[in-house]
Amino acid sequence: MENKKEKLERIKDKDTVKLIEESYITVIAGPCAIESWEQLDAIAKVVKDLGLSFIRGGAYKPRTSPYSFQGLGEKGLKYLKEINVKYGLKTVTEVTNTENVDIIADNVDVLQIGTRNMSNFELLKKVGRVANERNKKVLLKRGWASSIKEWLLAVEYITLRGNTEVVLCERGIRTFETDTRFTLDLSAVPVIKKLSKLPIIVDPSHAVGQSDLVIPMSR
């Protein structure tokens, strides 16, 4: 395990997500944004060597500033498709608009809804419909200022359209504290487990916002 961790730390790893499945822990690793084929392929090799099953990578990036890199778009999706074929890894990417849901479903396995879109209800409905028809899973991140009740209602927008499998992801909420970018609300995990049967994973990386704090928060 330590060897794996060291390896993982050697690659550019802005975004690792722990998936708690029954008794063992699965890690969803990968770059925040796909920057090139070479970058994604190099990370995929490491992910595969680590024995992990999932790789994530952003093709459409929601950015606070319009002047930040907005993602490779369709080219990024093609790279994810090739990675899936080459390594047998399941792929995860973020949908950002009703108009890119279909093309994303053509290319990846898990449709991720990001924190900024948790209350984008038109997107939730579209993702629910497409995921149901095409047998995709959905990863629904918590809105950074959404209550647990609102989060569970967002799930219902998705599952209205059929028995789509939704996995929740706690990624931190916005509070007055500024020493971390967001406050990871780990208490949400037992609350969600009490209120629903949905699987829930935790993304410790966006909350702390500094790479040297990711490992301590993952323990």
196 part of the interface to a copy of itself, by CB under 8 A: no
Q: What is the DSSP string of 32-64?
A: SB---HHHHHHHHHHHHHTT--EEE-BSS---S
Distance CA 89, CA 73 (A): 20
Distance CA 85, CA 18 (A): 23
Q: Which two tokens stand for residue 154?
A: 């967002």
66 part of the interface to a copy of itself, by CB under 8 A: yes
Are β-strands 200-202 and 90-95 bridged in parallel, bridged antiparallel, or unpaired? unpaired
User: Least separation, in Å, of the C-beta of 87 and a copy of itself?
Assistant: 30
98 part of the interface to a copy of itself, by CB under 8 A: yes
Out of 17, 34, 188, 201, the only residue in the binding site for a copy of itself (CB under 8 A) is 188
- For a copy of itself, the closer of residues 139 and 208 by Cβ is 208
Out of 39, 53, 183, 196, the only residue in the binding site for a copy of itself (CB under 8 A) is 183
- For a copy of itself, the closer of residues 1 and 85 by Cβ is 1
Out of 9, 75, 134, 160, the only residue in the binding site for a copy of itself (CB under 8 A) is 160
CA distances, 143 to each of 111, 136, 146 (Å): 16, 21, 5
- In 115-153, which positions are buried (b, 16+ CB within 10 angstroms) versus exposed (e)? bebbbbeebbebbbbbbbeeebbbbbbbbbebebeebbe
Distance CA 57, CA 40 (A): 8
69 part of the interface to a copy of itself, by CB under 8 A: no
25 part of the interface to a copy of itself, by CB under 8 A: no
211 part of the interface to a copy of itself, by CB under 8 A: no
54 part of the interface to a copy of itself, by CB under 8 A: no
Residues that bind a copy of itself (CB under 8 A): 62-67, 96-99, 116-117, 119-123, 125, 143-145, 147-150, 153, 156-157, 160, 173-180, 183-191, 193-194, 207-208, 212-213, 216-217
